[in-house]
Each structure stands twice: as structure tokens, then as C-alpha cells.
Structure 1
Amino acid sequence: MSAPRFCSRLPAHVLMLGGLLCCSAASALNVRVLVLAAPSLTVRVPVAAPPVAPLPVYPAVPTPAPLQLAAWRVGVQGSGAGARLTLNGQDSGNATLYLPPTPGSVVEIGGKAYRGGVFLRTERGGVQAINVVNVEDYLRGVVASEMPSSWPAAALAAQAVIARTYVAARVNPALPYDTCATESCQVYTGLSSEKPATDAAIAATAGQVVAYAGKAASTYFSSDSGGFTASSAEVWGKDVPYLTAKADPFSAGGPRAQWRLEIPLSKVQDVAGRYRVRVGTLQAVTVTSVSASGRPQEISFTGASGVARISGADAGGFVRSLGAVSSRATLSGLNPLIVEGAGAGHGVGLSQYGALGLARQGYDHLHVLGFYYPGTSLSALAGGAEETRPVLALVRPLPSPASPGIFARSPAAPSWMTQ
């Protein structure tokens, strides 16, 4: 079997544009996604390069027909600076190998099919497989993984825009990849998760991103705000003007809208220790201060040898470390410690169940985005880029709840939203 047409590195004609790869000014942006890291892995690539075709128009183009693929076991030989990749046990002579994406191309990495190409590199004695894929194709494997495809079009469109924005904000040419494929970044499962409804949402919002001060915004999102979004300052200790705490009446009816936990004292003691609480056997755990969003901002621990307190982001971290799905919670009792809360996730930025609620009331995706990222603008990924980030073309400000009458088109909007 002859070796696949890998390049030993990213070819010179491939331009690094803010971490996004462009093969020419006319081609679409590509992103680099770490999909697998292992001591060795199997990559299946087309036996022959697929024919060049126009970029697909979603959702009319179906999933590509299976191509004849050749399997290659990729490993590592040597160590440190001398490490090189092997293909089916044979030394490739290189620490990196690159199979560029072409329109319609598909590769299989670790048993999962992905659109685009693959960049392989040695890392700490193992192999990293990085899917290099058109940003719109990447979203096809993200949006349906992060939000049910049965949800209304406006909610799916909002998810598509924030997913696109999220990856645009993360590009970094100094790093070997832009994003990962897990919940630590955005869940990306490739070809298997694509759905017509999410493909349509991606096509309808093609290129759209949320921007603030000329840059891609930090479009954090979580499952359910529990009725009140959290500020980035209270969760992570960093103030971001458009990631603020605000009442969110649209996040209602989710499966974890209300929940209750009973935590044994032994676990409470153990978790407190991880937050450097050293007061001996615990006698009381009390929330002594809450944020504007109702999340603990200071927790007091009384023990046999004194009193200790944790505050800020650590307070919320302690609650989540107990097993709570959200830090929007109250604490009572001790053995067990009763944790009662609302919502799921960190609560910063868009609430997915809130987007669902807004969409069901007739709001479009721009109003969804304007509600959760106040003061931002709708922008678009533009051709060309600076060395450090994609260039954004300003389109228009997003609707903001602070603007009089902005929700007037929806008769179901609560009165306080139009004041």
C-alpha cells in the first residue's frame, strides 16, 4: 500500500490568518480542531483525492457517499526533539504530517468521520490528530451536538452564531490547534451528528458572529440560567461588559429548573479541604453573601478550631464541587448538607433553555443574542485577516433590552421588557 499524500508540514501557500487557514483569498476559512490524542491512532483517508467541487449549499447537499478509505496506523518513534511519526510501523521521517482538506473531503480519525483534512503531530510521546475543516462544516458537527435539532429555528440560529463566534475568538496561530472537541471547548462529533435543521440554521447565519469593540465576543453559554444569568466576574473573577447578571424569565421549564441534593458531611469536609478550609471538624456551613444573581459569593465554615471563609469565584466553585449542576443554590443543614438550586451550568452568557423560551415566544435569533449579550454587535467574518485574529466586518448593533420598544414585535413579551 502506498503512503497517503500527506505533506510533512503545512504547505507554504497555506496562509495562517489569525489561526484560520486560507488556501487563497477566495476560499473559506478553516479551523483546526484537536479531535484525538493517543499513544497511537488509526486514520482512514481517501485512496484517491475526491474531485474538486463547489462548496456545498446547506441543507440541500446530503451527507457525502462513503469513499473508499485506506487505514493507516499512526504512531511515534524516538523521543523529545527527535520524535517522528510512523505510518503502519514505518518511519515517516517527520514529526508532523498534513493531509489538506478539499471541498467534500472526509477523513476518519479514531473511528469517527470528519469533513476536511487532518494534521498529525507528535506530542509528549503520543500523536495528536487535528481536524482541519471549513468553519461552516465544523459548525455542522457542533450545533447539533450542543442543542437538540428539534428546537425552533431561532434558537438553533442563535446557537450557530455563538458557536461560530466562540471558535473565531479562540484562534491562535502560535498554538498547534484552535479548539478541542470536548465540553472543555465545544462538543464536536463530526459527520455523525449533522442534522438538516441545524444545517439550515448554520446556512441561514453563514459568517455571522457576535462582536464587541471590533473583536469576536466571548460568547459563553450554558444549559439553563436558573432564572438569572451570572456575570463573568462572579463566576471567573473577570469582568466583561456584556456578560452581566440579569433576570432571565425566559429560562423556565428545563429538566433541571429546580433540583435538590443531600451531601454527607464527609464529602462536605473533603471538598472544603480542597478550598484550603482548615477548621477541624465542621460544625456549620453558611452562605454569608450572595451576588446580584443569587449565587453564593461568600461561604463561612465554622469548625472545632475556628472559622474560615471562601469568597468570589471560589464560593461558586465549592458549590459545584459538591456535585451541584449550578451554583445558583442555597445551603442548609450540615449532615447532610442540603443544596437546593435552579438551572444547570455556569449561567454566564446565553442560556440554552432561555433561547428556547425566547424562540417559542416568537423572537428571532438576533433578539436572543441581544438579550444575552447586551451592547454587542452582529458582525461577519470577512475576507482577509490580520496576523493575530480574523477580520470582522461590522453589520449592525444587536437589539438590546435597554432599547425602548425593541421587543414590540412579540405580543407575548413581558411589559418590563419594553420599558
Structure 2
Amino acid sequence: MRAWQRLLCVLLAAAGQAAALDVRVLVAQGPQVPVRLLGTQAQPTPAPATWQVTVRGGKLALSGRDSGSATLYLPPSPGSLVEIAGVTYRGGVLLRAEGNRVQGINVVDIEDYLRGVVPAEMPALWPDAALQAQAVVARTYVTSRVNPKQPYDICATQNCQMYPGVRGEHDSSNRAVAATAGQVVTYGGKLADTYFSADSGGYTASAQEAWGRPQPYLIAQPDPYSQGAAGPKASWRITVPQAKVQQVVTQFRLNVGTVQTLKVGRASASGRVEEVLVSGSRGSARVRGAEAGGFVRALGAPSSRVMFGGTVSAAQPLVVAGQGSGHGVGLSQYGALALARAGQSHRAALNFYYPGTQVGQLAVPAAQAEPAALSQPLALGRP
């Protein structure tokens, strides 16, 4: 039996063996995705072959050989490692043909997944309690997105949660993951929406003002912990040239001609912009609601908790002064840092930033145990 046939037999025979707490993370996609099976930490595969996975006629091909299937799957096993598009991950790999592209999906135990996520989202040398809060928040976030009806649960970029695989792991954050194993934030017996940002700037934002979706535990409130942490974006000031302002005005399709003045029309309870007033050589316009925050961030501001206003010209750029970094909803990482430095536990941070919630133990329904695309065992020649 040739090498590609042996690999195919392994992939097909293993279908259907998935653990209840596995997460499917889209880590690579493109016309060609290289994959290597590295064995386990205890028994690494010597000189593992690289398989170039492509799509041919709607089916996956392994280094030019037709697999006969649009989906191939090697589930995770204790200590297993895979390399997908040059990055090493714990767990297994799910390969899918999606149009003319290959999707490389890392299927990994949720706790192993968090070992990569936590230090990618928060500095690994921060105090234990801060890292533990981040671990619980990240665990809750990903668990709420596990959906067997979708081809994968979450992506590996900042649009979801950063996940660099094994290379991002650190002993300190590994301990935080282990110390909080299985812990999730709940509200009313359901998983909470555990949004987080770097720095609230001294006042958290509500989900209502940020996205128009109210949550009783995602509220606007003073945040002395973030203010006391004095992070690098606690207070900041940027200068925006007229050309940049004009570019953003055009991006938001405001037909005002050459921009002449720009100012905050209205701010929310947390001090975040809810209305921007723009005037120019051909008229005036206003940007409201969530779009107003997007407008401010498009100017280059790290947060929409800002103040600005006045004339804009080639000789007089716009000055924007603000506080914080990110949307400000939920956990403020610098606030968690200040609480940890004060000797408070991770639960204290969770209680403050998600008031009215509880910390419970993770329980994933059996229906979530297996990737939807593999609910039936694969057979050669049949997806």
C-alpha cells in the first residue's frame, strides 16, 4: 500500500471518534493546505511527510491523489499533534472542500485550545488571577459558539479569539487554564456572553450602546480598576490629518464635500460617541449609533470613549483625546490586572465585570460531541 493510501485509510477509519469537549477551529483555508501528522508528544512521528491537500472535482486530493471524499478527519487522541499550514496544533484535523478551497480545521480538546488562546489574548506574565479570569472568559466564549450544524465553531484570528497553537503556549497561562478547568460564566442557567476588551478607559460600555443588544450583566458602570491600572491606553491623544478625515467621511458615504468641521454630537452614559456631526463645503451630515463608534475608530482612535470638535483644514488637523482601548463591553483586561495586583481572585473580576452572573461547571450536550460533517462514518468514495 502506498503512503497516500495508508494516510487515507487512517483518516477514514478514524471518523466518528470525537470527544464531548472538542472544539473545531478554522485555522487555515486556501486552494492548497499543507498538513503533517506529527504523532504524539510521547511518540513523535520521525520525519513526517507533508501532504498537500487540494480540491479536485469537489473532492479532496492528497498530494495530487484523489481521496474520493469532500471531507477527511483525524480525531484528537491523548498527546496528538498536527501541523496545518506550517503551524503545530494539539489534537486532530478536519479537512473540508469548500468550493475550490480547502478548509483546515483543528479539532482540539477545549482545555488544550485554551492553552493557546489565553497567552495570545493576555500577557502570560500577568498575575495568576488575571490569567484565570481570562481563561474562564475564553472558555465561556468558545463553548457558546459550539454548533454541530456549522462546519466549524470558531476562527483563529482576532475576529474570534487569537489561537496560535502550541507555539503560543506558556507555563503561567497553562497553570491558569488548569486551575479553572471547566469553569464558565452563566446567567439564568445559560452561558453568558463574555465579551472583553483591553481597557475600559475608566467606564465600561453596555451591550445596548455598543451593539443595540441589551444584556442585564453587560452594563455601563464606572470602572475604577481599569483607571487605577494606568495601562498604556488609559489616556491618549491622536492627531488626524485632514486627508485622513476626508478619507473616513468618504468611506462612510457622507456627501458633504470638503470637510470643514467635525464634532461629537452626543455621547452615551459611558462617555462613548453616539453621534458625530460633520459639516463641509457642500452641506452637513451626522453619523449615529454603532456607526458613530465605527467612524471614530476609522479615524484611528483605539476607543470610542473620546472627545473632539472644531475646524479641520490642511493647516489644522483634528485632535482626538480619549480613554481606553477596545469596545469596553464586559471584562476589562487592565481592570482584571489591577484586581489581581490587589490580591483579588479571578471570581472577583468576573463578578464585577459581569454583575449578576455565576461561575458554573462546563457541561456540553452529547449532540455537540461530533463534527456535523462526520455524523456518519466516512467510506472511501463517499463524503
User: Which residue of the other structure, out of 304, 322, 325, is the alignment partner of 2:302?
Assistant: 325
- TM-superposed deviation, 1:274: 2.4
1:25 aligned partner: none
Provide Cα deviations, 1:5-64, integer angstroms capped at 9, x if missing partner: 44349834x4xxxxxx53xxxxx5100000111110210114xx65xxxxxxxxxxxx75
Supply the distance in 1 between the matched residues of 2:13 and 2:134 (Cα, whole angstroms): 34
In the alignment, residue 270 of structure 1 is paired with which amino acid? Q
What is the SS of the residue equivalent to 2:144? helix
1:124/1:386 Cα in 2 relative to 1: closer, same or farther (>3 Å)?
Answer: closer
Q: Counterpart in 2 of 1:31?
A: 23
For residues 340-388 of structure 1, give each alpha carbon's deviation from its aligned partner in whole angstroms, at most 9, with x where no partner exists. 1111111111111110001001110001001101111111112644669
Please list the CA deviations of residues 197-245 of structure 1 after superposition, one character each: whole Å capped at 9, or x if unmatched. Answer: 1111111110000011222111111111111111112222221221111
5 Å-filtered alignment, 1:8-27, equals 8=12, 11-12=15-16, 14=17, 21-22=18-19
Q: Structure 1: give runs of 5+ residues left out of the alignment.
A: 15-20, 23-27, 51-62, 389-419
Matched, 1:356 2:337: yes
Q: Is the 8 A contact 1:9 1:96 kept in 2?
A: no
Long gaps (5+) in structure 2: 370-383
2:32 maps to 40
Question: Which residue type is aligned with residue 134 of structure 1?
Answer: D
Secondary structure in 2 aligned to 1:142? helix
1:42 partner amino acid: P
Normalising to structure 1: TM-score of the pair? Answer: 0.82
Higher-RCO chain (CA-CA 8 Å, sequence separation at least 6): 2
- Structure 1 segment 222-237 matched on structure 2, within 5 A: 222-237=197-212
Q: Does 1:95 align with 2:47?
A: no
Q: CA separation in 2, counterparts of 1:10 and 1:303?
A: 64
| Alpha-carbon spacing, 1:10–1:34, altered in 2? closer, same or farther (3 Å) | farther
1:72 matched residue in structure 2: 51
Separation in 2 of the partners of 1:106 and 1:114? 6
Partner of 1:295: 272
User: 1:2 aligns to what?
Assistant: 3
The secondary structure found in structure 1 opposite 2:133 is helix
Q: 1:266 aligns with which of 196, 218, 243?
A: 243
SS in 2 for 1:192: helix
Higher helix share: 2
Q: CA contact under 8 A between 2:256 and 2:283: conserved in structure 1? A: yes
Alignment match, 1:408: none
Cα distance in structure 1, aligned partners of 2:74 and 2:68 = 16
> What secondary structure, in the 3-state scheme, does the structure 2 residue paired with 1:107 have?
strand
Q: In structure 1, which of residues 340, 346, 350 is the aligned counterpart of residue 327 of structure 2?
A: 346
3-state SS of 2:193 partner:
coil
The SS at the match of 1:170 is coil
2:114 maps to which of 139, 159, 163: 139
d(CA) in 1 for partners of 2:138, 2:277: 38
**Aligned residues of 2:90 and 2:112 also touching (Cα < 8 A):** yes
The normalised TM-score by structure 2 is: 0.89
